[in-house]
A and B are shown apart, each in its own frame.
Chain A
Amino acid sequence: GQQVMQIPQYQHVQEGEDFTTYCNSSTTLSNIQWYKQRPGGHPVFLIQLVKSGEVKKQKRLTFQFGEAKKNSSLHITATQTTDVGTYFCAGPRAGNMLTFGGGTRLMVKP
């Protein structure tokens, strides 16, 4: 079945440093979605990418969808303590059910 993998599993950064998480799918995806989960919280939708090679920005966050639509990345510029949490990518199965990656847990030292 479809598998979605993320690396790294954990990332410690100093506040102000950049951060990148990578997502790879075993199958071609119709779209890729990114979620953020704060410690003790629930996943919150960030963005959806649909087109091959698509790049979208949200302030300091840059999301990219690979040309083959099998991989994606999330880059955060100049991290802040408010960026702390786990970032998940997810790809849809048949219908709209999501297969989530294992997540990358970001920790930011002030």
Chain B
Amino acid sequence: ETGVTQTPRHLVMGMTNKKSLKCEQHLGHNAMYWYKQSAKKPLELMFVYSLEERVENNSVPSRFSPECPNSSHLFLHLHTLQPEDSALYLCASSQTRGTWNTEAFFGQGTRLTVV
């Protein structure tokens, strides 16, 4: 399997549930990202991991918790979400070289619905 793979593709969860989104990249990249895409809004960067260290956290509520156990895997742990958190969550990867990155590749996304 190549590229960036996200699972599950669809997820429906209650506000009291705990779930996790998974992302795996097979491109040998050293940086991974979580983005949120809500209807009629630009993609919003949530978290960035570079060389397995979190380098950016764009004021994301603590009910979203990222984890990067190695350079190929990225998780987003979800707990006590709100209905407004329903969105398409996209994972991406790229190769970081100092201050710039190579081409970024995205997964197919997880469509999350919070009920």
Q: Are chains A and B native binding partners rather than an unrelated pairing?
A: no
Residues on A facing B (Cβ under 8 Å):
none
Residues on B facing A (Cβ under 8 Å):
none
